[in-house]
Chains A and B, each alone.
Chain A
Amino acid sequence: MLSLNAFLLVSGLLFAIGFFGVLLRRNTLVIFMSLELMLNAAILALVAFSRFNGIMDGNLFVFFIITVAAAEIAVGLAIIVALFRKRQTVMVEQLNSLRH
């Protein structure tokens, strides 16, 4: 039987990977995946807490998080595709026209 700490460790690692992925990666699509990784880390921790604390709320919260993440993916992907059509690139360093 795995302990709560094992789940939290994995969740923390996932969150850290996602967070640093957002900060350090240069490809928008990879950044986007990292963002989703952060949400999934939160979901994993939520389910683990819910199971070990014996409170159902967390499991229900997961439904809402998944829905929100789906909406975010849909909108985000649409923006990325539109931007790619316009600029022919998805690299962050080339998206710098808003500077004065």
Chain B
Amino acid sequence: MTAARDVDVLVIGGGMAGAVAALAARSRGAAVVLVRRAPGATALSSGAISVAPDLGALPGEPLASRRSPVEAAQRLAAAWRDHPYAVAGVERLAEALAFAAAELGQVLAPPLDRRRFLATLYGSAVGAGLCQHATVDGDLLAVRGTLAVAGFRGHAAFDAPLVAAGLARYRPRGGPEVRAIELDLPALAPGAARPHELALALDRPGAAEALGDALRAALPAGAGAALFPPVLGLDPAARVLARIRERAGVPVAETLSDVPSVPGLRLHRAIEARLAEVGVEVVQADVAAAPAPGEPVRLGDRELRAAAWILATGRFVGGGIARRGVLAEPALRLPVQAAEGRDAGVQLALRPAASLTVRDRRRPQPLLSAGLRVDGALRPQDERGRPVHPRLFAAGAVLGGHEQATDGTGLGVAILTGFLAGRAAAGGG
């Protein structure tokens, strides 16, 4: 057997946190290997990255919020002391967001200094600090003229009249006029009702053009933009939105997605493409009970040694944290000891599920926010609060103390902590 190969940084996990970490280290010239098992929760994300909720905004009136995402993150960090924003600090959040948007520029649009207000499938709007190109022209504060919400005949999963009626409520807060329209999908096979099937069909030559023609014919007078369900192509290179727009003559956007998520899959593709482009080596392997940075680690059929490791394995969907009776971190067997909510308390990992959850589903759930505790430099801590290893870092959902589904940060924590960990692992700033 050959001797272990040496690289600078090993990133474990290929979601948003791992990708941003790898790209951040690579952009500082480090030799980076990224090992991942499978697409994780990032591929299931909605297409927008909230970054931070505006805790002072009026409930039900998202468009009334004018606080910038970074400012909102500062407030959040001040209010929730166990949150990764508070632990890592948000001083470099704007830099991290700009970095991620630039690196993944194939799908992500450059951030504004305000949040964009994007439509959901439920006919509501949410504020996003970062979003995909596919949603930019659906920003409710940017639409000039009537917003046409376009449903597909035969596609029961998207209720255009419902979305339109929901969005029309934001008119007094600066939202556009909204109208629902219905289009035929002549080029698609009947029964192609699943989102990714529609998206694949639209990637094909001619399909987007046909849809653009159908849209132009159905547009109401004074239409300024058209909003579609989140199925406008899987392959960013297929330029589905641009092709529709060229034929229809108006800007085109998608709503945000639920699961399964075409925008999530698109983001995953863009991450893969960018990692390959900048020369981050991606290895598909399972890492369990690995040693420590500086030690050789076995990845599938090869052995590797890296001076710095970044653990970005996600939480339960990603597999970074698992529970079989007790909570554990399977890759390096680090202690799981951080969680959100006053009921978290001691012995987090060992307590039964019923006592790590609270009745009100909307409240912070210690069990769902469980993960690693890290110091200010994002180094996981042992039970006594000391860094496990000086060159071991962690990023993203594997960090405890927050739950992205309910705290309104989306992939913001992944981007910030991935960026900081990547730069720290590469040395320098």
Whether chains A and B associate is no
User: Which residues of B are interface residues toward A (Cβ below 8 A)?
Assistant: none
